[in-house]
Amino acid sequence: MAFDFSTLNSASKKTVRDGISTKDLPDVKLSEYEGKEIIVDGFFINTGKKGDWVVVIADGKKISMPSQYTDQFKAIKDNAEALADVLAGKLKLVNIRPYETKAGNKTYLVDFATV
């Protein structure tokens, strides 16, 4: 039996709902959604000098997420059922609120909910 090369495609899984192009979407900060709810259309994970972070696609925008949520979104990407639910519009971010860390840095916290 030949090697199944499609197994190498896992790094390029589709994580944004069909029909949505992220190319020209404006970049915004999560702070703009304080006290609001966001229905997630998809996400992608960026890698930079400070590590990985998530950008959520919602409301016609690219919303940068705090780095503490990267592991949760990686877990979603690696779980076929969870990713399918995101692409079906079933993930909602709620209770978006500011938080000050013990080191005095300001960040934002969110809770995950099902639509």
Q: What are the tens digits of pLDDT across the range 65-106? A: 999 999 999 999 999 999 999 999 999 999 999 999 889 889
Confidence of residue 17 (pLDDT cuts 50, 70, 90): very high
pTM score above 0.95:
no
Q: Which residues contact 89 (CB under 8 A, 6 or more apart)?
A: 17, 39, 40, 41, 115
Cβ atoms within 10 Å of 110's Cβ, excluding its own: 21
**Section 2-23 average pLDDT:** 75
Q: What are the tens digits of pLDDT across the range 28-66? A: 999 999 999 999 999 999 988 888 999 999 999 999 999
